[in-house]
Structures are given as C-alpha cells and as structure tokens.
Structure 1
C-alpha cells in the first residue's frame, strides 16, 4: 500500500513538473539520441571526406624514387651593385644515406626530440595535436617539441611552404597521412633525414655532419647526433658555428629525452661540449648584409624554388673599407657596427660586428642601444621648426625639470651663447630647456617622423638620448637631413632575376614626403656642420664638408657618431654586448675616427658638395615692421565706435584711430578723398556717417557693398525698406 501511494505521489509530482514547464525525461532521452545520431553522422562524413582527400593525395603523390631525386631547396646568388658575385647561398647535399646506412643513434635522437610516437601514429599524432590545442587555450609553454610529426614536417618540406595558416596545416595533415599510406616508416624516415634543413645551407644529415664535424654522417657519435637533431627546431639559433653554448644546451635536451624514452641507457654519460667542431676560416662581414637583406625576398617575390640572382645595393669596396675601419678602431673587448647609405636610401655598406664567425648577431639592424647626444638631432629639429634660428641666444644655466637636473659633461655652465654653439658642444642644459619649451611629445613626434621605429618615452631625460634605438634607424634619420628634409627609405635589393635572366623584381623609388620645411633642414645642417668643424665631432673631419653629431651614454657604455658628406650618410656605434662600461669610449673618439676612416674612401670619387645652410625664413618669422607695407589702407575694413563695419574705399578713418595713425606714419601725407573734392589734400576730415535704413536706424553694411557681394545691379534694386539687414 505504501508503494502504491509513493508511485501516485511521483506521478503527481511529474505531472506538476510538466504543468510547470519542466521537460519530461522521455523528451530529454529523445534529444540525446538525436544529438548522438547527428554527431555520428557528422563524424562519419568527416572521416569519409578525409579518406577521399588522402586517397586522392596518394594517387597524385610522386613515387619514392621521384621524391629522392627532388631538391626543394633554392640556390641564391647574391651580387653587389656592380654585378660582382659576393656570396652563393643554397643547398648543400651530402651523400644520400639509405635507411640501413643511417646510424641508429641518429634515428633515435631525431625521433626522441621531434616525434616520440613516430612508429605508432598514422601521420598525425592525436596526443600532440590535443596538447597543442590545450596549450593554445591555457597559454602553457611546457612542451619541448613542436606539434608537427616527422611525416608532417616531410610533407611541409617537400610539398608546402612555411605559412602558418589553418589551410596549410590541414593540407599538411592530409599529405602526412597520404605519405604514411603510400610509404613505410623506414622510407619516410630516410626521406626526412636526407632532406631536412640543418642550417648553413646544409640539407640532410650527411651534409650537416661534414659541415659541422668534418666527417660523413655514418661516423656520427651520440653527442654529435644529439647536436644535429637539436638543429631542426631553429637552425640559425642552435648552429654550433654561430652559438656553441646554445647548440650544446639544445643537445643536452635531446640527450635527456633519449634517456627518458629508453633510447640510450641512463648510465651513459655524454658531454656534447667536448665535441670537436670543424674550424672555419673567418668569413667576410658581407654576411651581416645578406642576413639583413635576403629575408626581404619573402615580401618581394611570389613563392618559388627556382634558382635566382639577387642584385643588391652593396658596394664591395665600401664594405671592405667599413669592415677595416670597425676592426681598426673598436676598443678591445667591445663590438662595433656601421651602416652607410646613399642619398636615396640604398645601403652601401653594413657591418654588424667585429667577427661574423664569432657572433652573427647583427648590431647594425637588430641591437637596441642608447644613442646619447646624437638624439639631440630631434630636439633641435623641433626647436627650429618652432621658430628658433641658429643665431638665437640661449642661456646655459642650471635647470631642473620635474625633479630632473641635467648636468653638462664639462661640469660647468657658460651663460649666454647662441644655439649653434650649444649644439656644437652638446650642452645638455640647453637641450633640456629646448625640449621642455617645445614639448617632449613634440621631440618624440619629430623622431617618429624621421623614421625611429622603436618605443619612445617622453620623460625629460629623453632629450639626452635615453631611448633605445637601432643604428640603421638613426642613420636613416640623418640621411633625411642630408636629403634636405625629404623622407628616406633604406633598401638593399635592386632587382631579382631567374638564372635565365627573367626579371622577377625591380626596385622602384617610393614616394617621398617633405618631413620639415627647407629652412629647418638648412638650419639643422648648419648646426651639424659646426659640430664637426669646431665642436665635439672634430675627429670626423675628412678634408671636405662634413655634418654630424656625436653621442655618448652614461659611464661610456655606448659611443655614437652619425654624419654625412657628399650624399653619403654613415652611422657608427660601439659598445659591449653586456652593456658594461668601455674605458675611454666617447662618440667623438673611436666612433668618429672609424667614421672618418671609412668616409675618406666612401666619398673619394664623389664631387665635393657644400651644404645649403642659407635660411630662407617663412613670413611668420619676419619682423612686424616688415609687414606694414603689405597692402593699402584703402583696402581694409574698419569697425567704428558703434561697432559698425566701414567698407573699404568709402569711409574716412577717424584720426584718433590707432590703426589710421600707423598708416599715416607709414604712407605719408593723406591722399585726396575722391568722395569729397571740395576738401583736397592733407587736413582733418569729418568722420563718415554710417548708412541708415528706411526707419533711420544705422546699417552695419552699406548698400553698395551688398550689391557687389550679392551681384545685384541698379536695374533690379529693391525698395529701401526691403534692403534693411535684420
């Protein structure tokens, strides 16, 4: 009886729930079954679609022997501006090693770091793919390897590009499954190890082994195999010829993974740092230039694997002179960099360090360092644009701005001087006052206008060069001054041709813009020329006009000199990579001497050019007295004491009007009044009464003026009452 009562109660509760809007359990089960059916149908369709795509890819895929013979890498011949071949970059293929010839330790090392489940997946690894999705959602960076399997990497290297789009990833997955369908695991691994890129132009493990260790890949040791396997992730970053410590660190990761996965015994002790690397002769610093210019091909050319020739702006003689000047003048233990460009922005020489083999880090294009007082270029540009001239008087005195008190390098103040002297001797207190007066945001805006691409802070100390910049950007800014204030865009590629001579790309001069007025460009050139002639940049003199500016940061951590002569603009930086002090380093010493040593060669075949420093000031900077003769007072409108407008040519100006008195003094005796011939010549005249309407009220504007303004004529004039202004 109790059970029957409980059942009736549950039935009543269900009915009440249904009546109250609840969903019966039966309906939930129905929707659940429908969703399961739809999901299964969609999954089936997806599997069918993928299967058809894989099957189609398998049918159209080349054979194993065709893939062996295919070389997907590209040969690039780089030429100087005169056609001289400066370097050839491209594939270096060693001997093709079969799966049996490849050392097992090399296979194990590559699988451990790139695809630990290689022998168990079907081309894509669901575990790694799922991990990538989770990583993308959580922002985790715990995984060591990438998301692509060895089969996916082979598909990308052989058939696709490195575009990171979703479409490319989907095609990569389809092709990877097609490879797994068509070829065995050993064949795929053989293709991969003989085709993967290891940096330095080396494709395949045999080429890499010969390049880095001077012996074939069949003789690879465990440590050497770990170094080569570690290169795949980032060949340039982990190259043992570029950064031994990075290569050893990466190899240690590979060895740890091999032990964790049981591919070498945990008891085995391997020291990758003890590996003997192949000794390479010093390479010409032209590699700094090619490292900067060749990545630009990705933006200039469509995707192509055919051999190409790249004609660059590099001048071989200037590059050699630049390299020699940096090596000869850079202090011991420091690094030096140089960028030189023509008046149109063509980069003529580029040196990113003292030795490319020791370090391929490009300090000319990548390093962010403080420019010191060379940054004052933008301070004085802003001041000149605001109305200053080189001859204006300024005061070198102690100053405090928002709690910041700059000091001069000499430790003293000299009082009143002109702007030219303050710039030539790089007086900090004057630069601080100018920056405060024109506004620090105006200085930052000027720097951005002239091509500074890095972050710019606008606190007061920024006027002394506390913001970090790239040397190539500072050189670009000075090149714009050399171009009389026109914008300059640095470039390094003139044209690109195929091996058959087909033109793929031709440089075209970009549209330039006037960054500052002519008089501002002339004024700053005047200041820059004085800085070299008599100021801090005297060491940069080369026997012809030079304009430039030194820069030295606190504790002599950075030395700068940037200047131009005869259309060539050159920037030099020196300092230590760890940003520590360099004894005796100042912008006016080693950097200026390196500039002069290079520029003597760079401009030797160019005509001597005098600078245009003639200031043609705009009208708004002229004295007021020079404007008194502009126009005729008979052409001016005046307001009388009642606030009425007196039109030109019809009204006499009262003698107590200060404007009229000024005109009298300026123009001399008064001319006859054409409307009053009875009283010609000088003498007082009664003031003209304002016109009146029909009701006798004064009008603000006369009828003649209205008719002239509205185009009315005497034949269609309105009655007086209708011409009144309401």
Structure 2
C-alpha cells in the first residue's frame, strides 16, 4: 500500500497553533489579497567593514581630539595667560674696543653681541633655514608635513632618527622653556611657537634664533660663533663660513670646527647642498664656497693679553653704569699695536730667562702722562691663568717704593745734594742692611737713591716720620692700606703694579696726580653715550722744583745706577729698580715725558727667584717695549727744574759720624735731621750734570759696590 502523499495531500510538517476559541475563520475568497513584501538586500562584508572602520576612526578622532585639547589646556595653563608672554631679554654683551676701534674681545654670558638680520649677509639666514627648517617661511610655527615625515622615518627605522622642531619651536624652547624632553614641554613649545608666529615676523623670529642659538665652544649667537671660529664679525662671514656654522647646529660639540674639523667640513658640504636644493645658491657657488680656504681652516683665536684688559673693564662696569641690562660698546685707552708688542716682549723674556732664573710670571703696564692705560699684560699666558697680576695682585715693590720716601724728605727741606751717611743702623731692634752688606759712608741723596742704598732710605723714613711717608704716597695716588712703620722705606708693604706705576706719573707730567683710567666712553649699540671720561683729576700734587729734584735723582739711577739696562737711546728718561727680600719680586718702573711703564717678574706662590733683580730683565723688558712706544715721537726733556750745587754740602747731623762702618743708633746722631744748610757765598751753581763713572771717584766707587 502506497503511503506516500500526493502534493495536494501534503501538509505543513511544522506544527500549527490551534485557532483560538471564538476566532473568526480567515476569509478564503472574499478578502482583498495582500501584496507580497520585497525581500531586503544584504550588504556585502567589505562595505560593512569600511563603514565600521570610518565610524571607529571618527570616534577615535573625536576622543583623541578631546584628549589633545585636554592636554593642551592642562599644560598650557602652566604658561599663564598669553597676554603676559614676552620675549625675555638677551644677556647683555660688552664689546671692548681698543683706542683705534679694534675689537679686543666681548664680555658677557654669550660671548658676542646681538646683530640685526639686516646687518648679516643674506646667505647667513638662508644657510640656517635650508639646513634647519626648509619650510620655515610657509608653516605657522609647527610643521605638520615635517612631523609626518619624521614619524614615518622613525617607524621605518624603529627608533629616533631626527628632531622635528621648527626654527620657531627652537626659539620658543630657548626663550621660555627647559631642555627637558617631556610631553608637557613639547606641547608648551608648540603653543609658544604659534604665539611667536602671530606676534613676530619671520625675519624677527630668524633674528631671535641666530642671536640665541648655541654654536659650541661657549659661543651663543652668530656673532660669538664667527668671532670664536673665524676671528671675524658675523657681518663679514663668507658663504662657506656661514654654511659651516649652519651645519654644526644639530650637534655643536660633535661637529665643533676646532676639535673636529673634518666633521665640520662634511657638515658644511651638506649645508651647501641644502642651499642648492632650496634654490638659494647655484651649484657653482656651492663649489666655490667649499674651496674657500678661510671657511675650511678655522682660526682658533688666541686669548691674548688683551683679555686681561677686558676682564678689568667688565669689573668696572658696575662702578660706571650700575647693572648692565643691554648690549654696550666700551671704548678703551689701549693702543692695539703697543699692547700686542708688550705681550710679545713679555712672553719672549719668560721663554728665554724664566727657567734659568726660576720665575714663571710677569706683568706690565704702560700709561701716558695723563694716566690713560695704553698697554697692560696681566700674566704670562691668559689661557693658563686669568689672574691679573698688573691690576689685582699685591706684591712688595722693594726699592721701587723708595722715591716716595725721598719725595717726602724733599718736601721737608732735603735736596738731592744733601749728604747722608751710609753705615749700619739699629733702630729699636730694626737693623736694615744693604743688599751687598757694604757701606760707603758719606753719600749724596742723589747717589743713595740711584744705587738703592737701604740704610739711607731707612734713616730718611725715620727722620721724616713714616706717617708723613704714608700721606705722601696717598697724595701721589696709592690706594693700598699702608702701615706707618719705618720698614715702609724698603718697600715691604704690598701694592699693585698699576698703582705703583701711576704713582710715578707726576714725575713725568710736571707734578699732576692721575687716576689710572682704561675707559674713555661707554655707549649703546645705537650710539647713545652712557658714560664719557672727563679730564678732571687730583690736580697738582708737586711743585716744579720738587719734580725737578726727583727727576734729577731718578735720572741718575738709569744713567749711572741700578737701572742702567733701561736706557732708551737719546730719550731723556728716569726710573727706579726694586727687588724684594730673597729676590721674590723684581720690579722696574721708568718714564719719559710721554710714557710711564712698570714691569714685575716673579712667581705666584711667592717663591724666590734665582738672583733676579729689578735692574736686569725687568729693565730690559721696559726698554724693549718703550723703544717701540716712542717710535715716531719727538724727543722731549723731562719736566721740572733743579740746579745742582757745585759743592756737596753735609747736614749737621752727619758731621760727627765718621764713615767707619761701626754700628750706631739714631740716638748717637747729632744735629737736626733733614736740615739743609744754606750755600756759602763762594759756592756757585751750575747746570745739572749726571753723575757717571767718569765724573769722579765716587761714581767709580758706587758702581763697584752697588752696580747692576
């Protein structure tokens, strides 16, 4: 039996719900038929993915934007209101010039002054832009294209390849922020960069960058870099030099032209190639720049003796201006050629004689007769020691201080023709001796000073009173703190070489006191005068006769006495040697009617030299420097007037003291000290004559005993 159902007999195998009780049956024929529904189209899997991805990205961007905005607000809040932002002032620079306008050096934190973009060759800025930020003139402070490019590079390299900061961002970092590599700092950098772009022109931003960026070797700013590496102003940079400076910016220490010249040249070539690519220069110009020997071989500017001058000038700025808040230009009294010649002579003397005589340091200062410092050497080598031994150091001048003892005596009635006695002395336990232990008995003040007789100087100091010697020294321009004791006669109290030299200047200028001066004018870079030296000074401190008497005695010292090595050809000159105890300091101070110069030799640790005296190498140094200083000048006599007495006259206190060499005390000396007898009627006066070895037996005797 066939149990299969026909199609008509088949029923839906699915279970049907029973009709609810009371429900109306469905109409089978009279009702209106329903329209069949259109089937929904199914979306493809790819379309669903794209839509989902777009939705996800949009959501992600929205969330990211909110997050970025939050970060910006959070870190931007630390910067305060933008209305309070302002570019901080650049540390001031002090440009120090010689009297002829020659740059001595710059002083300040940056090492060079700020220069305007319009003062520089056009290719200086172009080299920096081409190497550091080629879209500088088109972006708004942050370079999105550059950021994307660097990001791709870093992904490919799986590490940091290079920075993406624009020039504007670097300016923002240098001006306002710390160098910390943090998210907060980068956000603040971007904000400040946008602010800079809104408030400054592109050229102003580039100028800020060039004057604030660090170039290595302590040089901040393009001017300092040009001076440091090439010894010229940035205003005079060649194309090759500009390219080299632009090339070293990413890593100034690594590409330093002084220590790594090959690396610097490679960076120079890359910077020139970037300039060609940017259209700033042609290939031919780039090749010519690479062949520029001035750009390839950097000049390591030597820190010469003029740096001692610059240091001194810097210390004086507060006295003249108070706090320096902007760049200034200081015109000094320094004669550039004389300064460099003095430095050469001093270094040569140390090289030739330092080892054999056991001295390692030297100082020199030269003034004109108005007290203007014309040359100053503060030590053997500034690169080895910046300590200024001409201005700052205090050393014993030895017998070079004796002229002020004799000057005090002249003011109390003594004359160069006063006869004293050179013999052993004991004053309250103080027993000064002559350097050679010899005594000559009766001796004129003129000869006693010329041959640096210690006992006579000591007797004078006691006779006139040490307190009067101190007063004389202060009137002559000394500023050291002196003790009024008899030993001052032998130069045991410390002074600077500068004040010692200035103290001799009234002998050279006719009796007028001076205050040593190295600054003539201070002005802003725009030419506004802030300070100008005046001619005012202490005025006359010596009479014409006193000047004449001192010059009479001090001329004898260089013609026949201990300073003979300083003789300056046919130039009338005078001076005095000085040697401290155990030959620790050797000094010579000499002068003409045009210049006064002082020389010191010794050691910083106060150790003794090997027989060094003021009449030897110091006197020779003085002569060699002053020979150059007097080139082209008209020979002039020393000022003052004094007529020597024909006969030597003894003072009463010496009458009963025989020249036996037997020790005596001051109490044993008879008569009034320092009293000069009146000339007898039969005594005639004659024109001054220098005492030399051929004058009489005294000259021969003194030269034999004290000579050299």
TM band (smaller chain): 0.5 to 0.7
Asked whether the 8 Å contact 1:566–1:603 carries over to 2, the reply is no
Asked whether the 8 Å contact 1:374–1:561 carries over to 2, the reply is yes
- Measure, in 2, the Cα distance between the counterparts of 1:515 and 1:197: 53
**Given the superposition, is the C-alpha separation of residues 61 and 377 from structure 1 closer, same or farther in structure 2, using an over 3 Å criterion?**
farther
**Given the superposition, is the C-alpha separation of residues 60 and 529 from structure 1 closer, same or farther in structure 2, using an over 3 Å criterion?**
farther
1:552 pairs with one of 571, 579, 585: 579
Asked whether the 8 Å contact 1:498–1:504 carries over to 2, the reply is yes
Task: Name 2:631's counterpart in structure 1.
Answer: 604
Task: Name 2:561's counterpart in structure 1.
Answer: 535
- Measure, in 1, the Cα distance between the counterparts of 2:219 and 2:83: 26
Question: What secondary structure is seen at the aligned counterpart in 2 of 1:361?
Answer: coil
Question: What secondary structure is seen at the aligned counterpart in 2 of 1:373?
Answer: helix
Task: Name 2:95's counterpart in structure 1.
Answer: 77
Asked whether the 8 Å contact 1:282–1:355 carries over to 2, the reply is no
1:286 matched to 2:343? The reply is no
Task: Name 2:479's counterpart in structure 1.
Answer: 453
Q: What's the offset of the Cα at 1:311?
A: 1.5
Asked whether the 8 Å contact 1:375–1:465 carries over to 2, the reply is yes
Question: What secondary structure is seen at the aligned counterpart in 2 of 1:563?
Answer: strand
- After TM superposition, the structure 1 = structure 2 runs for residues 145-164 of structure 1, keeping only pairs within 5 Å, are none
**Given the superposition, is the C-alpha separation of residues 387 and 77 from structure 1 closer, same or farther in structure 2, using an over 3 Å criterion?**
same
1:364 matched to 2:390? The reply is yes
**Given the superposition, is the C-alpha separation of residues 92 and 592 from structure 1 closer, same or farther in structure 2, using an over 3 Å criterion?**
closer
**Given the superposition, is the C-alpha separation of residues 595 and 483 from structure 1 closer, same or farther in structure 2, using an over 3 Å criterion?**
same
Task: Name 1:588's counterpart in structure 2.
Answer: 615
Question: What secondary structure is seen at the aligned counterpart in 2 of 1:582?
Answer: coil
- Measure, in 1, the Cα distance between the counterparts of 2:252 and 2:313: 37
Question: What secondary structure is seen at the aligned counterpart in 2 of 1:328?
Answer: helix
1:315 matched to 2:311? The reply is no
**Given the superposition, is the C-alpha separation of residues 83 and 196 from structure 1 closer, same or farther in structure 2, using an over 3 Å criterion?**
closer
Asked whether the 8 Å contact 1:487–1:512 carries over to 2, the reply is yes
Task: Name 1:514's counterpart in structure 2.
Answer: 540
**Given the superposition, is the C-alpha separation of residues 546 and 510 from structure 1 closer, same or farther in structure 2, using an over 3 Å criterion?**
same
Aligned pair count?
434
Greater Cα radius of gyration, structure 1 or 2: 2
- Measure, in 1, the Cα distance between the counterparts of 2:311 and 2:334: 13
- After TM superposition, the structure 1 = structure 2 runs for residues 198-597 of structure 1, keeping only pairs within 5 Å, are 202=219, 282-301=302-321, 303=323, 305-330=325-350, 331-332=354-355, 333-543=359-569, 544-597=571-624
Asked whether the 8 Å contact 1:394–1:417 carries over to 2, the reply is yes
Deviations 1:297-335 (A, max 9, x none): 333236554433221111011101211221122323511
Task: Name 2:240's counterpart in structure 1.
Answer: none
Asked whether the 8 Å contact 2:107–2:311 carries over to 1, the reply is no
Asked whether the 8 Å contact 1:341–1:569 carries over to 2, the reply is yes
**Given the superposition, is the C-alpha separation of residues 575 and 185 from structure 1 closer, same or farther in structure 2, using an over 3 Å criterion?**
farther
- After TM superposition, the structure 1 = structure 2 runs for residues 51-200 of structure 1, keeping only pairs within 5 Å, are 62-63=84-85, 66-67=86-87, 70-89=88-107, 91=110
- After TM superposition, the structure 1 = structure 2 runs for residues 706-721 of structure 1, keeping only pairs within 5 Å, are none
- Measure, in 2, the Cα distance between the counterparts of 1:536 and 1:601: 23
**Given the superposition, is the C-alpha separation of residues 449 and 219 from structure 1 closer, same or farther in structure 2, using an over 3 Å criterion?**
closer
Q: What's the offset of the Cα at 1:294?
A: 2.9
- Measure, in 1, the Cα distance between the counterparts of 2:188 and 2:378: 43
- Measure, in 2, the Cα distance between the counterparts of 1:486 and 1:572: 22
**Given the superposition, is the C-alpha separation of residues 408 and 487 from structure 1 closer, same or farther in structure 2, using an over 3 Å criterion?**
same
TM-score by length of 1: 0.53
- Measure, in 2, the Cα distance between the counterparts of 1:186 and 1:475: 61
Deviations 1:433-469 (A, max 9, x none): 1111001111122112212212212332221011011
**Given the superposition, is the C-alpha separation of residues 578 and 198 from structure 1 closer, same or farther in structure 2, using an over 3 Å criterion?**
farther
Task: Name 2:278's counterpart in structure 1.
Answer: none
Asked whether the 8 Å contact 1:397–1:413 carries over to 2, the reply is yes
Deviations 1:218-259 (A, max 9, x none): 7999xxxxxxxxxxxxxxxxxxxxxxxxxxxxxxxxxxxxxx
Deviations 1:76-110 (A, max 9, x none): 332221222333445259999xxxxxxxxxxxxxx
Q: What's the offset of the Cα at 1:377?
A: 1.4
Question: What secondary structure is seen at the aligned counterpart in 2 of 1:494?
Answer: strand
Asked whether the 8 Å contact 2:593–2:639 carries over to 1, the reply is no
- Measure, in 1, the Cα distance between the counterparts of 2:187 and 2:401: 60
In the alignment, structure 2 segments of 5+ residues that lack a partner are 1-76, 115-127, 133-173, 177-183, 193-210, 230-246, 255-297, 645-674, 682-708
In the alignment, structure 1 segments of 5+ residues that lack a partner are 1-54, 97-156, 160-182, 222-277, 627-726
Q: What's the offset of the Cα at 1:400?
A: 0.7
Question: What secondary structure is seen at the aligned counterpart in 1 of 2:498?
Answer: helix
- Measure, in 2, the Cα distance between the counterparts of 1:548 and 1:354: 24
Question: What secondary structure is seen at the aligned counterpart in 1 of 2:443?
Answer: strand
Deviates more, 1:87-96 or 1:314-323: 87-96
- Measure, in 2, the Cα distance between the counterparts of 1:197 and 1:280: 18
Q: What's the offset of the Cα at 1:484?
A: 2.2
Asked whether the 8 Å contact 1:519–1:616 carries over to 2, the reply is no
**Given the superposition, is the C-alpha separation of residues 203 and 610 from structure 1 closer, same or farther in structure 2, using an over 3 Å criterion?**
same
Question: What secondary structure is seen at the aligned counterpart in 1 of 2:539?
Answer: coil
Deviations 1:558-586 (A, max 9, x none): 00001101320001101001111111310
Asked whether the 8 Å contact 1:282–1:356 carries over to 2, the reply is no
RMSD: 4.6
Question: What secondary structure is seen at the aligned counterpart in 2 of 1:344?
Answer: coil
**Larger RCO (alpha carbons 8 Å, 6+ apart):** 2
Asked whether the 8 Å contact 1:370–1:469 carries over to 2, the reply is yes
Asked whether the 8 Å contact 2:98–2:336 carries over to 1, the reply is yes
Deviations 1:648-681 (A, max 9, x none): xxxxxxxxxxxxxxxxxxxxxxxxxxxxxxxxxx
- Measure, in 2, the Cα distance between the counterparts of 1:446 and 1:158: 55
Question: What secondary structure is seen at the aligned counterpart in 1 of 2:540?
Answer: coil
